[in-house]
Amino acid sequence: MINSILIVGGGTAGWMTALYLSSRLPTGVSISLVESQDIGTVGVGEGSTPYLKQFFDSLDIPEKEWMAQTDATYKSGIRFDDWSHESGYESYFHPFFNEFDKKPAEMFFYNCGLRRRGFEANANPDNYFTAAYIAERFKSPVLAQAPDIQVDYAYHFDATKLGHFLRDKAKSNGVKHHVANVTSVGTDSKGKLKSVMTDTGLKLVANFFVDCSGFQSLLAQKTLKRKFVSYSDVLFNDAAVAIQTPTKSPHKFKAQTRSLALKNGWMWQIPLTSRWGNGYVYSSRHTTAKDAEDELKQTLGLSPNAEVEARHLKMKVGRLEEHWGGNCVAIGLSQGFIEPLEATALMLVQFAIQNLSLILESGSFSGHDMMRYNKEMNRLFDGVKDYVSLHYILNSRKDSQYWVDAREETIVSDNIKYLLKAWDRGEDFEAALKVIEEDLVYLRPSWYCILSGMGRHPERLQPTVKAGPVKVSMDYCQRITDKYFPDYSITP
């Protein structure tokens, strides 16, 4: 029976865990969190997937409340610029989906099928999903009048402010908060965790522990020596540099994250109400931190000597083999990390917390619960890793060694090999997706969007061959966007 939980770490993962568990578990379970002010948090992580809406909804926290306190903006998808040099496919949008898209999406899948077999057909996803238009036309993804239509959207937010918001909420739910450095961890003879000691002389005892200590992985890796499965042969970006820039007046932005391919990686641009968040994710095998910072500054239009804070980060990419063992579960960067190209880290944190809570709510857990939990977390991590790796495998750039290596040296998983084979041979792609659906985290439209959006098509057949492609649906998406989605204006 669990009656006391100690969370080590007060980053977004720690406070999301504290808030969620304190809202779900019986009041008899005491929850404490200890965090170090000296070490601080990773301080990035400002993009999300639509699952975050469900997280706040499940806690009855209104959008208006948390968005206002974290400088948040809406996101309808990710614009990928310059990842492909195929003509007509230099840019594409990975949309969040909505019910309006049902009809044009079918046209898109059909046209992709034609284009995969070499026929002339418009197969850029931008033309078939309203989310791309919402962003392009400076609209908000939140419906003005509310027809009964499901629209997925996500958010951008200030990571530090989100942490503070979650902290205040969790504390008002009764979570005890300690600020101190954990200096040692006490275990019993069977390797079960018993307590942690801090530099303030505090001994914190609990019978269940959540490791949210970030890349340090203080409990799971340092203390319990859990095995780390590296993804570095699949995803070789291992560093990032982040720079914040001010907004201009009027602050006009699209409801999107922009991912722009640079020389040795890619740059994110995230609009907040109060500023821009920008960063360059790169491979330290291909460039230095200084050159990456200079390239980022140059791309942002800043001089190399500009007085801006550049935050340099190292990234450990991979996951634990066992996320939960004994009385300790690792959540957040301490359990693993996939580079932020699809902004999936907090989604994985959310799944980890919700799956854990479902089990703990029953009051006790078994070895079978832990096994199922670990299997599901590994499936989610590996599924996201596969999808993210495909961006690199599909890139068609030849202008730097980085992009050539990304295409040629990335280890391709069996599932991705299988999908590529079916796609390239013009086989039934639906059937191929179905065969491996249990392993896939991303749904059908995302696979079509990335493969076709990055221009993975054979040479076109001779013009004498008639394919009769269906009409593109630009007019439809444009009409729907203009009719239902309001203009997006922000008052900082």
**What is the Cα–Cα distance from 251 to 476, expressed in whole angstroms?**
29
* Closest listed residue to residue 154, CA positions, set 51, 84, 223: 51
Task: Kindly tell me which of 19 and 159 has the beta carbon lying closer to ligand FAD.
Answer: 159
**What is the Cα–Cα distance from 23 to 20, expressed in whole angstroms?**
5
Task: Kindly tell me which of 91 and 216 has the beta carbon lying closer to ligand FAD.
Answer: 216
Task: Kindly tell me which of 178 and 263 has the beta carbon lying closer to ligand FAD.
Answer: 178
| Residue 10 is labelled as binding a ligand | yes
**Residue 403 CB neighbours (<10 A):** 21
Q: Give the ranges where 276-413 is alpha helix by DSSP (H).
A: 289-299, 345-360, 367-394, 401-408
Which one of the spans 78-86, 210-218, 220-228, 437-445 is the region binding ligand FAD (CB under 6 A)? Answer: 210-218
Set 64, 75, 176, 192: catalytic member: 75
- Regarding 45 and contact with ligand FAD (CB under 6 A), the answer is yes
**What is the Cα–Cα distance from 219 to 206, expressed in whole angstroms?**
13
Kindly state the smallest distance separating residue 330's Cβ from ligand FAD, in Å. 9
**First CA to last CA across the chain, in angstroms?**
48
- Regarding 269 and contact with ligand FAD (CB under 6 A), the answer is no
Kindly state the smallest distance separating residue 399's Cβ from ligand FAD, in Å. 24
- Regarding 332 and contact with ligand FAD (CB under 6 A), the answer is yes
| Residue 12 is labelled as binding a ligand | yes
Strand pairing report for 91-95 and 77-81: antiparallel
**What is the Cα–Cα distance from 244 to 311, expressed in whole angstroms?**
9
Which of 333, 380, 432, 441: binder of ligand FAD (CB under 6 A)?
333
Draw the binding track, 222-261, toward ligand FAD (x: CB under 6 A; -: no contact): ------------------x---------------------
* Closest listed residue to residue 342, CA positions, set 263, 281, 252, 429: 281
| Residue 435 is labelled as binding a ligand | no
Draw the binding track, 11-30, toward ligand FAD (x: CB under 6 A; -: no contact): xxxx----------------
CB 389 within 8 A of CB 413: yes
* Closest listed residue to residue 37, CA positions, set 9, 70, 14: 9
- Regarding 42 and contact with ligand FAD (CB under 6 A), the answer is yes
Task: Kindly tell me which of 121 and 166 has the beta carbon lying closer to ligand FAD.
Answer: 166
Question: For this structure, is 222 an active site residue?
Answer: no
CB 13 within 8 A of CB 349: yes
Supply the residues annotated as catalytic: 75
Q: Which residues bind ligand FAD (CB under 6 A)?
A: 8-14, 34-36, 39-42, 44-48, 159, 181-182, 212-214, 216, 218, 240, 279, 313, 315, 332-334, 340, 343, 345-346, 349
